[in-house]
Amino acid sequence: MSESHSPAQPLIFWFDDPQRVPADVADWLMEMGSMTRRFEKQGVTVTVKPKCECFVTRAELGTSEAEQLPESARYWVREVVLFGDDEPWLLGRTVIPEETLTGPDLALVDLGTVPLGRYLFSNDTLTRDYIHLGQLHHEQGDLWARRSRLRLSDKPLLLTEIFLPESPVHRPDSKVHNG
């Protein structure tokens, strides 16, 4: 049933007022291009390890998550850990209503270790409705998060990204070192 396929969602506090996010952090969170590319500019090799790729029902989504997406019988969920070299930098969770998985976008169920951004940002039908900035309490400290509702050919998907303690988002002094 659901538990093993749809792990409990961390409770993220989404800011009404994004001004509460420090400017150096907001600079990362408001990245409008591919976060994978932005990370690569830090001079690391980015790898993505899928943790779960499966269909779930609407009841299995987080409440706040379901509110961002239209009703659908099933949603494709992809959860990954993104590594910068060997450090875990980001947790990514993508929720895609089944109706979005039409035509070429059915490729989204076959991404495996290919970073999502490689698909999204090479697609000229991509648009973004909004980015929400947020924070969550974690055993390793408070972590920053963001979620974007994106559209491919006007069909919605929701991407939530949690930035882990070792990511440059939490190390604002980190420098680009590959030009």
Nearest to 85 by CA among 50, 45, 114: 45
Residues in 106-135 at the binding interface with ligand PHB, rule: CB under 6 A: 115-117
CA distance 68 to 93: 14
Q: How far is the CB of 162 from ligand PHB (least distance, A)?
A: 10
- Among 86, 70, 91, 55, smallest CA distance to 158 is for 70
Nearer of residues 42 and 94 to ligand PHB, judged by Cβ: 94
Phi, then psi, of 16 in degrees rounded to 5: -75, -35
Q: Binding mask 55-94 vs ligand PHB (x if CB under 6 A, - otherwise)?
A: -----------------------x-x-x-------x-x-x
Does 48 participate in binding ligand PHB (rule CB under 6 A)? Answer: yes
* CB contact at 8 A, 108 and 53: no
Q: Which residues bind ligand PHB (CB under 6 A)?
A: 35-36, 48, 78, 80, 82, 90, 92, 94, 115-117, 161
